[in-house]
């Protein structure tokens, strides 16, 4: 839609630059930025994500969502002097990709005066992701499966070392509904119940996870970074296209184009379903991994299963 000379629907003064199809609003840059920051503020308070004296670590990959989250939280937390905000970057070891992202994450942190810590798969697990993919090329498992499990553990280890009370991750509305549909695809009811947008897998993680961008669309989080001139890594991960998630993402984008608001409708349905089935996982026993002692719902946690398998290959 061409917005030449159309006034912003909120302030009614500035020229609109963005048409938000799902709400019908035409927004100027300032009102767009305010709307995103207010949406994050509302999400945080609606779900009581933070306490006044929280030690928060933001998981910053260097991509648009995580750097946008870092900038937004840094603005919000400036009003809460007892809260500390730090950033953790996990370097999975993806040549020609993650190296640049780590630099961009560091650049953003130094611009905002936020302490930045990096942990790598190589130092924690003995392998880079590239090495893992090379070793497991015969398996029918996508790189993202290994990456996701090991990244979660790496974040937990880093958070434990830093003594943080919350990890904020940059999962957007798109990420949340993609995961929901993937779990439906696999019939994984337990994961649907446990992947709440607020406390991700709270029963299986030592450090509570929160997702302050869970009601912000991915394309709006990118737009937020663009118009604020926030540096972020634009190159996609070389392994991303191999994932089923990528097809789900494209399907959802097409659906949203034809039916604006479809993503929010799915998100609201997801919330209702999660609420309806949360009691089904409450009674499930949580065990300690026989190898490493991490909380898990199997005898051996997924991280140890991966590491054991790599030793045999």
Please report whether residue 8 would count as binding ligand SF4 according to CB under 6 A. no
Please report whether residue 241 would count as binding ligand SF4 according to CB under 6 A. no
Of the candidates 309, 311, 312, which has an alpha carbon nearest to the alpha carbon of residue 141? 309
Q: Where are the alpha helices (DSSP H) in the chain?
A: 29-46, 64-77, 98-112, 121-125, 129-135, 143-162, 173-185, 189-194, 218-227, 244-258, 262-282, 302-312
Compute the distance between CA of residue 228 and CA of residue 265 in angstroms, rounded to an integer: 29
Please report whether residue 292 would count as binding Zn ion according to CB under 5 A. yes
Label residue 12 exposed, middle or buried (CB < 10 Å: 0-12, 13-18, 19+): exposed
Q: Are 126 and 164 in contact (CB under 8 A)?
A: no
Point out which residues pair with 288 in neighbouring strands: 295
Residues 28-47 interacting with Zn ion (rule: CB under 5 A) = 28, 31
Please report whether residue 148 would count as binding ligand SF4 according to CB under 6 A. yes
Please report whether residue 239 would count as binding ligand SF4 according to CB under 6 A. yes
Please report whether residue 150 would count as binding ligand SF4 according to CB under 6 A. no
Residue 289 site contact among ligand SF4, Zn ion, none (CB < 5 to 8 Å, cut-off depends on kind): Zn ion
Compute the distance between CA of residue 284 and CA of residue 287 in angstroms, rounded to an integer: 10
Options 10, 222, 240, 295; binder of ligand SF4; rule CB under 6 A? 240
Which one, 30 or 47, has the nearer CB to Zn ion?
30
Compute the distance between CA of residue 22 and CA of residue 239 in angstroms, rounded to an integer: 31
Options 210, 237, 248, 301; binder of ligand SF4; rule CB under 6 A? 237
Closest distance between Zn ion and the C-beta of residue 163, in Å? 22
- Dig out the tokens for 138 from the structure: 């015969």
Compute the distance between CA of residue 165 and CA of residue 57 in angstroms, rounded to an integer: 8
Which one, 43 or 303, has the nearer CB to Zn ion?
303
Helix (H) or strand (E) holding 119: strand 115-120
Please report whether residue 298 would count as binding Zn ion according to CB under 5 A. no
Please report whether residue 143 would count as binding ligand SF4 according to CB under 6 A. yes
Please report whether residue 144 would count as binding ligand SF4 according to CB under 6 A. yes
Q: How far is CA 62 from CA 44, 73, 102, 291, in A?
A: 22, 15, 6, 32
Options 40, 147, 198, 230; binder of ligand SF4; rule CB under 6 A? 147
Choices 141-149, 186-194, 213-221, 282-290 (CB under 6 A): range interacting with ligand SF4: 141-149
Please report whether residue 281 would count as binding ligand SF4 according to CB under 6 A. no
Site string for ligand SF4, 176-215 (x = CB under 6 A): ----------------------------------------
Please report whether residue 301 would count as binding Zn ion according to CB under 5 A. yes
Total interface residues for ligand SF4 by CB under 6 A: 8
Compute the distance between CA of residue 64 and CA of residue 70 in angstroms, rounded to an integer: 10
Residues that bind ligand SF4 (CB under 6 A): 92, 143-144, 147-148, 237, 239-240
Residues that bind Zn ion (CB under 5 A): 8, 10-11, 14, 28, 31, 289, 291-292, 294, 301, 304
């Amino acid at each position: 839609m061409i917005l030449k000379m159309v006034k912003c629907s909120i302030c009614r003064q500035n020229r609109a630059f963005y048409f938000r199809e799902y709400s019908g609003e035409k927004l100027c840059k300032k009102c767009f930025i305010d709307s995103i920051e207010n949406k994050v503020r509302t999400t945080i308070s609606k779900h009581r994500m933070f306490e006044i004296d929280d030690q928060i670590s933001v998981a910053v990959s260097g991509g648009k969502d995580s750097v946008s989250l870092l900038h937004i939280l840094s603005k919000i937390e400036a009003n809460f002097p007892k809260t500390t905000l730090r950033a953790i970057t996990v370097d999975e070891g993806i040549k020609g990709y993650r190296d640049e992202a780590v630099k961009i994450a560091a650049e953003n942190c130094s611009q905002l005066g936020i302490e930045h810590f990096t942990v790598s798969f190589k130092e924690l697990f003995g392998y880079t992701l590239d090495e893992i993919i090379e070793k497991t090329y015969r398996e029918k498992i996508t790189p993202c499966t290994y990456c996701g499990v090991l990244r979660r553990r790496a974040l937990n280890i880093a958070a434990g070392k830093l003594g943080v009370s919350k990890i904020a991750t940059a999962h957007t509305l798109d990420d949340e509904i993609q995961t929901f549909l993937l779990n439906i695809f696999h019939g994984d009811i337990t994961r649907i119940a446990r992947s709440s947008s607020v406390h991700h897998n709270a029963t299986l993680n030592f450090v509570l996870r929160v997702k302050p961008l869970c009601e912000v669309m991915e394309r709006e989080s990118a737009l937020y970074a663009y118009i604020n001139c926030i540096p972020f890594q634009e190159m996609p991960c070389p392994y991303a296209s191999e994932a089923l998630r990528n097809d789900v993402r494209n399907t959802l984008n097409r659906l949203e184009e034809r039916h604006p608001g479809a993503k929010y409708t799915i998100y609201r349905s997801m919330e209702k379903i999660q609420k309806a089935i949360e009691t089904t996982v409450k009674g499930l026993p949580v065990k300690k991994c026989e190898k490493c002692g991490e909380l898990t719902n199997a005898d051996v946690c997924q991280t140890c299963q991966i590491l054991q398998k790599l030793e045999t290959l």
